[in-house]
Structure 1
């Protein structure tokens, strides 16, 4: 698109894309079919400056990724605020949570050999959940921003080296797409903050060190409509959170492996260039205030990721799904054992959590929005059955010893055939002689759920 363009020439695909993009701002060729380069450069520089100034109040964007993380966090905080009151937990709420976590530790001591977490349990508001987990979410979504940059580079073919617009086109597109994705991330985290009942509710280790943390405001919402006492609900959720954090604390490879799998998948995702281009073109014709950027992020939410297509993507997804299921299934199993003779309401609460997973719980919703991950919650029940069968066959110590090394945990095939693992671990024994035992265990589990 230089000023040497001839009016009668048919523009190539890159020129068409550039003209379409510029038209969003009212920049069109003159009657002779040419763009006034001086005017174009002046207007583009002005728009870029105005666009940058819109976010200046949130601090500078990250140089490497182009993401304005303060803007992202501000949107997450706005979403939590819009969901209703979010008071700082009171001293009495903190005391209740610590008492519940202390009792949970005593009950779990009878079921598992993993040591209690040294840090005392904490009570968080929704805003504190955003603040205290935000660093981990930054780490996880950075590869997605990299993929966005690749997609942006392909929206308009690289201009010729002497094209004076080369220095502004891609930075504008990058800033626009990064702003919209920042808004999408902020909205997803804000919505997640209104749903989670604990730090580990999504199944991932979101704090720099294991820490039992519960959210009283969300737990109160969780209790609505339940014919279960608030104290039982709090103790049940404290048991789950405490068990999960004890697992993360004792199994040093587990948390890093989970996060590495999410990051690996994020590096492999593909961005739909048509969806991204439509999002940019539909929004950039305006002044792009922070509110408009937020609306743009909501408009493209969930629409820019291409579903997993490569063998490597499918393999990473299967490994992540399996490991998350093994963690949550193990928590189901040990909490079931801890509450079996103490808390009749635990059966109802466990089933409620399973329905919540099947309907798409906070973990599934967040991972799908942020990374296009579509996890199958049914594997969690399979994992709980496997851990229960292992305990019945070889005892709780053998069940928990499987976490000693990544190569010792059950595979997807063993989730399909839990009796062989229950009897032999990673062995080659045939399950035929054990079918009756599995049926008994599963019938017992089903009877408790009824």
Structure 2
């Protein structure tokens, strides 16, 4: 894997170190001074030791938050735009106004109603604090599996000899993970534009959030009015929130798939033992060389590859749907909408900090082909069958397109009209799934019991503009 999972990668000094490209002070980085570098290392070690024993678990999240906040505040106040202070009242009002306008436009482009009950303007520090609970759920399975792999690699006699030292090793491992996560969150917090930019609902439920300071930095080279960029990004955030709110299975499926991948992590202990014999403890360079040799990376099993493919497909479908719906909602209302759409596509394709950190976390990279293919698929389904059927596919995980469908968007759209999902009522499909699994069969909401066959009195009008029970029709028995 080009990006090893969380906990395996060594810190990249160009990405997480003091040579921060966002530092435009024109002064020479202190990272080039060995004494300054040593001082920074000792300072961070002191922070880690002060946290020892205060946090249990595979990752020290208190330390992660502390490091992230300190990095965002910036040494000497140089990164003023990314401090953890509150957002100005003017910026907060601009975010709310943009979100309100975006929601009005989205109402005409999707059958899914608004999903956010509140809209907030976050600083980078707010983003770290409010997304940390979700990061904890993402990181814990990976870190636990890595920790157990290392402990399991020890011979029994070594474990007995170590005794209480093993708990200290666990604490040090938790601090090492926390330090790495803190640096990663600082990088992300200084770059992300919305709470859902990585394709996952990281923030609190039903809360739409944008980061004005980061958006202002993002707008600088676009030659577009900042208000236009803000409305466009607000529309993307609102579309994400609609989807996650009204496809309740989606959030759980995404997070469960990450956990499924983590549970399959294994480490080649034989290779590590062989490498350890070549390390000279008195030579730090040999240790660094060992850590970067690739032998510490886990091997991807067939089960993990299935989980990664499923996760990649889900994220591509989410991003593709948002891309299409936002484009339809905005239309010609914003002169630079198409340019902004392409800019964000390229931002995702080239792997900005958000994607890079996520790839480091779970070993996943969103391939541009999948993202564009997903956009093409949703666009063709909408054009051929209407937005009701397009959005109705999110009603149940069994209805959404597969990875193979992303490779053949036209074939999937054509197949929808040839019987596989023709005249499909998503809620009836969900009830049929429960019936097949032996679950209770409820009334479908039309006043009649769902039997999987033609519903009397419905006729065959095949009205595709309704999300209700009118889509049962005479082809109801062919929907599955």
TM range (shorter): 0.7 to 0.9
**1:233-248 matches, cutoff 5 A:** 233-248=229-244
Q: 1:302 to 1:122 in 2, by over 3 A?
A: farther
Residue 416 of structure 1: how far off its partner (Å) = 1.2
Q: Deviations over 1:277-320 (max 9, x none)?
A: 989x99999xxxxxxxxxx99x9699686365211111100000
Residue 121 of structure 1: how far off its partner (Å) = 0.8
Q: 2:79 aligns with which of 80, 84, 87?
A: 84
1:409 corresponds in structure 2 to: 400
Q: Secondary structure at the match of 2:401?
A: coil
Residue 343 of structure 1: how far off its partner (Å) = 1.5
1:252 corresponds in structure 2 to: 248
2:62 corresponds in structure 1 to: 70
1:191 corresponds in structure 2 to: 187
Q: 1:380 aligns with which of 359, 371, 377?
A: 371
Whether the 8 Å contact between 1:269 and 1:371 is mirrored in structure 2 is: no
Q: Secondary structure at the match of 2:164?
A: helix
Whether the 8 Å contact between 1:391 and 1:399 is mirrored in structure 2 is: yes
Moved more, 101-110 or 409-418: 409-418
TM-score in terms of structure 1 length: 0.74
1:26 corresponds in structure 2 to: none
Q: Mind listing any 5+ residue stretches in structure 2 that lack a counterpart? A: 1-43, 421-480
Residue 61 of structure 1: how far off its partner (Å) = 4.4
Residue 55 of structure 1: how far off its partner (Å) = 4.2
Moved more, 227-236 or 111-120: 111-120
Query: When the two structures are aligned, how many residues end up with a matched partner?
Result: 365
CA–CA distance in structure 2, aligned partners of residues 113 and 190 of structure 1: 37
Q: 1:136 to 1:184 in 2, by over 3 A?
A: same
Moved more, 78-87 or 344-353: 78-87
Q: 1:206 to 1:427 in 2, by over 3 A?
A: farther
**1:280-295 matches, cutoff 5 A:** none
1:3 corresponds in structure 2 to: none
Q: 2:223 aligns with which of 224, 227, 230?
A: 227
Whether the 8 Å contact between 1:143 and 1:267 is mirrored in structure 2 is: yes
Q: Deviations over 1:74-100 (max 9, x none)?
A: 112223223712242111111000000
Q: 1:213 to 1:282 in 2, by over 3 A?
A: farther
Residue 376 of structure 1: how far off its partner (Å) = 2.0
Whether the 8 Å contact between 2:53 and 2:171 is mirrored in structure 1 is: no
Q: 1:99 aligns with which of 97, 100, 113?
A: 97
Q: Secondary structure at the match of 1:212?
A: strand
CA–CA distance in structure 2, aligned partners of residues 399 and 364 of structure 1: 27
Moved more, 114-123 or 405-414: 114-123
Q: 1:263 to 1:306 in 2, by over 3 A?
A: same
1:440 corresponds in structure 2 to: none
Q: Deviations over 1:45-89 (max 9, x none)?
A: xxxxxx9996464474444x2432101111122232237122421
2:24 corresponds in structure 1 to: none
**1:386-397 matches, cutoff 5 A:** 386-397=377-388
Q: 1:182 to 1:387 in 2, by over 3 A?
A: same
**1:69-148 matches, cutoff 5 A:** 69-82=61-74, 84-85=79-80, 86=82, 87-148=85-146
Whether the 8 Å contact between 1:59 and 1:70 is mirrored in structure 2 is: no
Q: Deviations over 1:162-192 (max 9, x none)?
A: x5x3313423432332221221111111111
CA–CA distance in structure 1, aligned partners of residues 172 and 419 of structure 2: 55
Q: Mind listing any 5+ residue stretches in structure 1 that lack a counterpart? A: 1-50, 286-295, 430-450
CA–CA distance in structure 2, aligned partners of residues 69 and 104 of structure 1: 35
1:14 corresponds in structure 2 to: none
**1:159-308 matches, cutoff 5 A:** 159=157, 165-271=161-267, 306=297
2:32 corresponds in structure 1 to: none
Q: Which structure: greater helix fraction? A: 1
CA–CA distance in structure 1, aligned partners of residues 186 and 403 of structure 2: 33
1:398 corresponds in structure 2 to: 389
User: Are residue 346 (structure 1) and residue 344 (structure 2) matched?
Assistant: no
CA–CA distance in structure 1, aligned partners of residues 266 and 372 of structure 2: 31
Whether the 8 Å contact between 1:420 and 1:428 is mirrored in structure 2 is: no
TM-score in terms of structure 2 length: 0.69
CA–CA distance in structure 2, aligned partners of residues 373 and 336 of structure 1: 27
Q: Secondary structure at the match of 2:398?
A: helix
